[in-house]
Amino acid sequence: MRQPIQISSEFIEENTNFLELINELRKVFNSNSITVPQRHHHDFPNPKTGKDSTLLLMPAWNAGKEAGVKIVTVNPGNDTFGLPSIQGSYLYLDAITGTLKAIMEAKSLTAKRTAAASALASSYLSKKNATSMLMIGTGTLSVNLIKAHASVRPIEQVFVWGRNLKKTEEISQTLSKEKYEVKAIASIDEKISEVDIISCATLSENPLIFGEKLVSGQHVDLVGAYKPNMREADNEAILKTSVFLDTYGGGLKESGDIAVPLKEGILKESDIKADLFGLCGETHIGRTDDMEITLFKSVGHALEDLAAATYYYSKFQK
């Protein structure tokens, strides 16, 4: 029996072209060929850290072609052990025989596909001439989100804020050779009302983005806060923006940024403009004018994982 190939995080890091990956996601969101069941989402206590861990199982298949399942744990207390909060693997399968074709490192794959999905949304929702960006958060996603957004918009300046100033400065150093300037800032308020794109990827339980600070023409990209008790934006931000989701299935209930306003009656499901299926299928045009404030909430989708896994498997086979 042929052994599955191993695709490492190093391979994924070295073989990502965000424009290519974004285009792959655009194609699958405009296709009805991939089946995605509701993902399994299980929280369990972690007595060592005092913070609950989460087990995610995310299957998807393209009948007669490929299939896969991502197995991920999210452990907010992993900084105690000097480890990233996200751990996991992606099992890539032949959908005809069921054989395991590849095992991929899921942390890098998740970061790349998540950033690509945000940039895909931005290609419909941010102003075409957006030149500035605020990145809130300093985790694995931050560098990827900056690179992905810069691949679809002419970004010239990026400001980075995080609770750990050292990590913020490390991101600036990591991106020092890019075509855009990256600067660490001491507070969100310094730049939030001045930039064209605001991207937020944190595990915050309390809002970091406040509607009173948002100004006409901005695009808000919410990527973190993956649980109903987490928030990255307050109710005023939701009221002030045109809201879009990656998918209705997960976006309506998995994150507090949408679930709480829905529960409180601040937001109605009918108020949500579209998801990525609607945007990529062109049933909604996205941004309507340069004054509109748009907001995209991402919780992740197994379709994105399968598309990314197929992308990296094809690269590995060349």
Sequence letter at residue 250:
G
pLDDT at 139 (0 to 100): 87
Q: How many CB atoms lie within 10 A of CB 203?
A: 16
DSSP character for 212? Answer: G
CA–CA dist 317, 253 (Å, integer): 38
Residue 57 has pLDDT above 80, yes or no: yes
Where are the domain boundaries for CATH 3.40.50.720 in the chain?
Answer: 121-300
For the packed helices 302-317 and 18-29, what is the interaxial angle rounded to 10 degrees? 130
Mean pLDDT, residues 166-186 taken together: 90
Q: Tell me the two tokens of residue 267.
A: 């937001």
Residue 1 has pLDDT above 70, yes or no: no
Is residue 152 within 8 A of residue 119, CB to CB? The reply is yes
pLDDT at 305 (0 to 100): 95
Residue 192 has pLDDT above 90, yes or no: yes
Mean pLDDT, residues 89-110 taken together: 94
pTM (predicted TM-score): 0.90
Q: Tell me the two tokens of residue 33.
A: 């060929």
Where are the domain boundaries for CATH 3.30.1780.10 in the chain?
Answer: 5-109+303-317
Mean pLDDT, residues 274-303 taken together: 94
pLDDT at 318 (0 to 100): 74
One DSSP character per residue, 97-154 reads: T--EEEEEEHHHHHHHHHHHHHHHHHHHHS-TT--EEEEE--SHHHHHHHHHHHHHS-
pLDDT at 86 (0 to 100): 78
The CATH number fitting domain 121-300, selected from 3.40.50.720, 1.10.10.10, 3.40.640.10, 3.90.1310.10:
3.40.50.720
The CATH number fitting domain 5-109+303-317, selected from 3.30.420.40, 3.40.50.2300, 2.40.128.20, 3.30.1780.10:
3.30.1780.10
Residue 167 has pLDDT above 80, yes or no: yes
pLDDT in tens, 128-146: 999 999 999 998 899 999 9
Answer left, alpha or beta for residue 130, where phi above 0 means left and psi between -120 and 50 means alpha: beta
